[in-house]
Amino acid sequence: MLNKTGIPTAEDVKKVSPSEERLKKGPVAIIECFQEIPCNPCTEACKQGAIQPMADINNLPKLDFDKCNGCGLCLSRCPGLAIFIVDGSYSETEAIVRIPFEYLPVPKVGEKVAGLNRAGEELGSFEVVKVQSGGQKNKTYTISIVVPSDLAMDVRSIRLGGVRHAN
Amino acid sequence: MQTKETIVCRCEDITLDEIKALIEQGYRTIDEIKRVIRAGMGPCQGRTCRMMIAQELSKYYGIPVGEVLMPTFRPTVKPVKLGTFAGGE
Amino acid sequence: MKEIEILIIGGGPAGLCAASAAANLGATVLVLERDGEPGGQLVKQTHKFFGSKKQYAGDRGYQIGNLLIEECKKNPNIEVWTDTTALGVYEDGVVTAERQGKHLKIEPKKIIVATGASEKMIAFPNNDLPGIYGAGAVQTLMNVHGIVPGQRVLMIGAGNIGLIVSYQLMQAGVEIAAIIEASPTIGGYLVHASKIRRAGVPILTSHTIVEAYGQESVEGAIICRLDENWQQIPGTEQDLNVDVICLAVGLSPLTELCFQADCQLKYIAELSGHVPIRNEYLETTRTDLYVAGDVSGVEEASSAMVEGRLAGISAAYSLGYGAGVAPQLQAEALAELSELRSGPAGQKTVKGIMKLMDKGEAVC
């Protein structure tokens, strides 16, 4: 249960997942926001009109997968770091997952990082292909990693070697 | 290993056992306990221990914590040096 | 004796917003801030805020703090005294304060108390070992002074503060052994919880601390599971090797000045403690004394800012300022508050305010 562990269930995730078909077409946002809280920056970030304006600020965001072009503006704006971009069209067997990142050091392009699932379990070592800074004000980095297609909806966090000095 | 103590009032170093013993002796309010043992009379003026003592009173007397009589609040809200009063308005 | 139209006690999000709102309508305002800089807890908040554009959502807390401070600095009607602690509110309306070792008297026409809240403590064996901190203290250490409290932390409390401070500790390179929470469910926003969980930190609900141990300072903690009646379940103990225990077990409204001023207060669990009874416009039962922010019930900073604005407008309006516009501005602030509180996350506050005002329906 999400509200006991912090881990969204498969059913939770299913509710915000696009079809296999849509995933294959190209980049799309996955908004893993499952709790009604007063928050709406994603609706204002979206320039495609894909995230509908909220009648009530407490509503869950509603994303039109067909209008979404996976630009990632919402990803870097979301205060909850709950939005990811998945591009299933990267290759026959691989997908790109873009993840919001706010730790130091920031990984470099070409670096291998551990990919973690929603429970923080390691799923493998994956290559970073793009690092975008959120800029002076926003500060949230977007890290793009290449993962096997079947893990595209599972990898949601990364860990760098030596990021924790306590171990 | 040291003896285990549960501290309620950090400023005056007063334990949960000491507070419980006073309540069992019949002290019924935060103010009474304060006068006997100085809980809440240190630098933080009860901000840490006040509601913990209220909880113990609430448990012992079986009343809601909101009905435990609050102490009297007087200026100043923090300790002030006498020199400050002497030199000020 | 310093005379001023509106005295605001506390320069946090509520106090600064109250100052701007009142000054914009033409009132002269003095803000007392205990710290060396205004901003309150905002200066330590490195995460992005929720809410809408009106409450600067998407900006980080310290950035919002800087914005509010700038606004106050630009306004010639606002004076801010830092390193100044209000000491007492007297029957004749005089407020005393200590400013850099000097005792001062202030005679305001209106007072807005925006003192915020203080951290709660809990009782467990060895709870005074060095290495046991309040979560707010850890934030101050890290984000104001640049010091990490230790290497491996047990966080107690999975409300927003516990979750956010855990995240900030992780960002500073400190390991979180676990976040434990006595309630059966996580109290803070689940997006914060998920963000921490997917980095590998266990969040254990229905868990409590049995005791801390260590010779000179914290060397570890024993935790255990709780049953449905909040009783410890024997045999479920776990020994965690940590050098820091961080308490994020809630806040208490800082209402001493309200008690002194003879405001009527009521204990409302949903608002986290004793809070002054006040009307819709945040005026307490002591005429001319208003409250805003956590002192009127512990909530998110976004609501504190709106409450500050509402109290500021109301205090200025009662002095005759903003005749044409104030009612409209008040209505806007009230609408924003009810919007922020209308969802499931705001139900506790709404219920608390209903109890406080002893009415069958929510007023704001």
**What's the pLDDT tens digit per position in B25-75?**
999 999 999 999 999 999 999 999 999 999 999 999 999 999 999 999 999
From the list B65, B73, B89, the residue facing C259 with the nearest CB is B73
Q: What is the rounded CA–CA span in Å between residue C16 and residue C78?
A: 10
Q: What angle do CA C122, C126, C127 make, to 5 degrees?
A: 30
Q: Give the gap in angstroms from C-alpha B50 to the nearest C-alpha of chain C.
A: 10
Query: Of C352, C350, C289, C314, whose CA–CA distance to C114 is shortest?
Result: C289
Per-residue pLDDT at B89: 75
A114's tokens: 């551990």
**Could you tell me the pLDDT band of residue A163, with boundaries at 50, 70 and 90?**
very low
Q: What is the rounded CA–CA span in Å between residue C110 and residue C326?
A: 16
Tell me which of C247, C275, C304 is where a domain ends: C247
Per-residue pLDDT at A162: 40
Which structural domain, as residue segments, surrounds residue A144?
A: 2-159
Chain A adjacent subunits, 3+ CB pairs under 8 A? C
What does the mean pLDDT of chain C come to? Answer: 96
Q: Give the gap in angstroms from C-alpha A55 to the nearest C-alpha of chain C.
A: 11
Per-residue pLDDT at C363: 42
At residue A30, φ and ψ (nearest 5 deg) are -115, 110
C273's tokens: 């403690």
HEC secondary structure over B30-78: HHHHHHHHCCCCCCCCCCCCHHHHHHHHHHHHCCCHHHCCCCCCCCCCC
What is the domain partition of chain B in residue ranges? 7-87
CA C294 distance to own-chain centroid:
5
**Could you tell me the pLDDT band of residue C364, with boundaries at 50, 70 and 90?**
very low
Fold of B7-87: Arc Repressor Mutant, subunit A (1.10.10)
Which structural domain, as residue segments, surrounds residue C312?
A: 2-118+251-357
Q: Give the gap in angstroms from C-alpha B55 to the nearest C-alpha of chain C.
A: 11
Q: Examine the domain organization and report whether C105 and C139 are in the same domain.
A: no
Q: In this complex, is the C-beta atom of C118 within 8 Å of any C-beta atom belonging to chain B? A: yes
Residues of A within 8 A of C53 (CB-CB) are 41, 44
Does the distance separating the beta carbons of B2 and C256 come in below 8 Å?
Answer: no
From the list C98, C104, C125, the residue facing B5 with the nearest CB is C125
Does the distance separating the beta carbons of C58 and A41 come in below 8 Å?
Answer: yes
Per-residue pLDDT at A102: 97
On the question of pLDDT at C360 being above 60, the answer is no
Q: Examine the domain organization and report whether C270 and C256 are in the same domain.
A: yes
Tell me the one-letter amino acid at B56. Answer: E
What does the mean pLDDT of chain A come to? Answer: 94
Can chain A be said to touch chain C, i.e. do they have 3 or more Cβ pairs within 8 angstroms? yes
Q: Examine the domain organization and report whether C34 and C128 are in the same domain.
A: no
Q: Give the gap in angstroms from C-alpha B21 to the nearest C-alpha of chain C.
A: 16
In this structure, is residue C47 part of a structural domain?
Answer: yes
Q: Examine the domain organization and report whether C111 and C128 are in the same domain.
A: no
Q: Give the gap in angstroms from C-alpha C155 to the nearest C-alpha of chain A.
A: 15
Backbone angle region of C40, left / alpha / beta, with phi > 0 → left and psi within -120 to 50 → alpha = left
Q: Examine the domain organization and report whether C108 and C142 are in the same domain.
A: no
pLDDT tens readout for residues A4-50: 999 999 999 999 999 999 999 999 999 999 999 999 999 999 999 99
Q: What is the rounded CA–CA span in Å between residue C219 and residue C171?
A: 23
From the list C102, C257, C259, the residue facing B87 with the nearest CB is C102
Q: What is the rounded CA–CA span in Å between residue C309 and residue C334?
A: 10
User: Cα–Cα distances in Å, from C244 out to C66, C126, C130, C177, C354?
Assistant: 31, 13, 8, 10, 39
Share of residues in chain A with pLDDT > 90 (%) = 95
Question: What are the contacts of A58-65 at 24+ separation with CB within 8 A?
Answer: A58/C342, A58/C343, A58/C344, A58/C345, A58/C346, A60/A33, A60/A34, A60/A35, A60/A36, A61/A31, A61/A33, A63/A16, A63/A29, A63/A31, A65/A18, A65/A19, A65/A22, A65/A28
Chains A–C, number of C-beta pairs less than 8 Å apart: 142
pLDDT (average), residues C174-197: 98
Q: Chain C window 236-255: which residues touch B at a Cβ cutoff of 8 Å?
A: 252, 254
Q: Give the gap in angstroms from C-alpha B11 to the nearest C-alpha of chain C.
A: 11
pLDDT tens readout for residues A76-120: 999 999 999 999 999 999 999 999 999 999 999 999 999 999 999
Does the distance separating the beta carbons of C345 and A58 come in below 8 Å?
Answer: yes
Q: In this complex, is the C-beta atom of B3 within 8 Å of any C-beta atom belonging to chain C? A: no
At residue A133, φ and ψ (nearest 5 deg) are -80, 145
Q: Chain B window 23-82: which residues touch C at a Cβ cutoff of 8 Å?
A: 45, 47-49, 51-52, 64-67, 70, 73-78, 80-81
On the question of pLDDT at C240 being above 60, the answer is yes
Residues of C within 8 A of A46 (CB-CB) are none
Q: Beta strands of chain C (E only): which ranges?
A: 2-9, 29-32, 78-81, 84-89, 95-99, 102-113, 117-119, 132-134, 152-156, 175-181, 203-205, 207-213, 220-225, 238-240, 244-247, 251-253, 265-268, 273-276, 289-291
| Number of domains observed in the structure of chain C | 2
What does the mean pLDDT of chain B come to? Answer: 93
- Is the separation of the CB atoms in C132 and C218 below 8 Å? yes
Q: What is the rounded CA–CA span in Å between residue C108 and residue A83?
A: 49
Q: Examine the domain organization and report whether C127 and C268 are in the same domain.
A: no
Q: What is the rounded CA–CA span in Å between residue A42 and residue A112?
A: 30
Q: Examine the domain organization and report whether C126 and C242 are in the same domain.
A: yes
Give the CATH number, domain containing residue C157: 3.50.50.60
From the list B10, B67, B75, the residue facing C87 with the nearest CB is B75
Burial class (CB in 10 A: 0-12, 13-18, 19+), C35: middle
Sign of CA dihedral C235, C240, C243, C249: negative
Q: Strand C29-32 relative to strand C78-81: parallel, antiparallel, unpaired? A: parallel
Q: Examine the domain organization and report whether C183 and C279 are in the same domain.
A: no
pLDDT (average), residues C285-312: 97
Q: Give the gap in angstroms from C-alpha C198 to the nearest C-alpha of chain B.
A: 34
Q: Examine the domain organization and report whether C38 and C132 are in the same domain.
A: no
Residues of B within 8 A of C103 (CB-CB) are 80, 84-85, 87-89
Does the distance separating the beta carbons of C85 and B77 come in below 8 Å?
Answer: yes
pLDDT tens readout for residues A135-155: 999 999 999 999 999 999 999
Residues of C within 8 A of A33 (CB-CB) are 191
pLDDT (average), residues A63-68: 98
Q: What is the rounded CA–CA span in Å between residue C269 and residue C251?
A: 11
pLDDT tens readout for residues A119-130: 999 999 999 999
Share of residues in chain C with pLDDT > 90 (%) = 97
Share of residues in chain A with pLDDT > 70 (%) = 96
Share of residues in chain C with pLDDT > 70 (%) = 98
Does the distance separating the beta carbons of C173 and A4 come in below 8 Å?
Answer: no
Q: What is the rounded CA–CA span in Å between residue C250 and residue B44?
A: 17
On the question of pLDDT at B12 being above 80, the answer is yes
| Number of domains observed in the structure of chain A | 1
Per-residue pLDDT at C359: 56
Chain C adjacent subunits, 3+ CB pairs under 8 A? A, B
pLDDT tens readout for residues C87-120: 999 999 999 999 989 999 999 999 999 999 999 9
Q: In this complex, is the C-beta atom of B6 within 8 Å of any C-beta atom belonging to chain C? A: yes
User: Cα–Cα distances in Å, from C125 out to C128, C220, C291?
Assistant: 8, 12, 37
Higher confidence at residue C87 or residue B87? C87
The separation between the first and the last C-alpha atoms of chain A, rounded to the nearest angstrom, is 29
pLDDT (average), residues C128-134: 97
A133's tokens: 């800074």
Q: Give the gap in angstroms from C-alpha C227 to the nearest C-alpha of chain A.
A: 14
Chains B–C, number of C-beta pairs less than 8 Å apart: 94
Can you tell me the ipTM of this complex? 0.95
Residues of B within 8 A of C123 (CB-CB) are 6-8, 16, 52
In this structure, is residue C363 part of a structural domain?
Answer: no
On the question of pLDDT at C333 being above 50, the answer is yes
A77's tokens: 């704006």
User: Which candidate in A2, A4, A156 is best for mutational testing of the C interface (most C CBs within 10 A)?
Assistant: A4
CA-based nearest residue in chain C for residue A84: C195
Q: Which residues fall within 8 angstroms of residue A136, CB to CB, at 6 or more apart? A: none
Q: In this complex, is the C-beta atom of C230 within 8 Å of any C-beta atom belonging to chain B? A: no
**Could you tell me the pLDDT band of residue B1, with boundaries at 50, 70 and 90?**
very low
Query: Cis before residue A105, ω within 30 degrees of 0?
Result: yes
Does the distance separating the beta carbons of C103 and B49 come in below 8 Å?
Answer: no
CA-based nearest residue in chain C for residue B68: C267
**Could you tell me the pLDDT band of residue A161, with boundaries at 50, 70 and 90?**
low
In this structure, is residue A42 part of a structural domain?
Answer: yes
pLDDT (average), residues C27-35: 98
Tell me the one-letter amino acid at C23. Answer: A
Per-residue pLDDT at B87: 80
Residues of C within 8 A of A57 (CB-CB) are 51-52, 339-340, 342-343
Q: Chain C window 61-90: which residues touch B at a Cβ cutoff of 8 Å?
A: 85-90
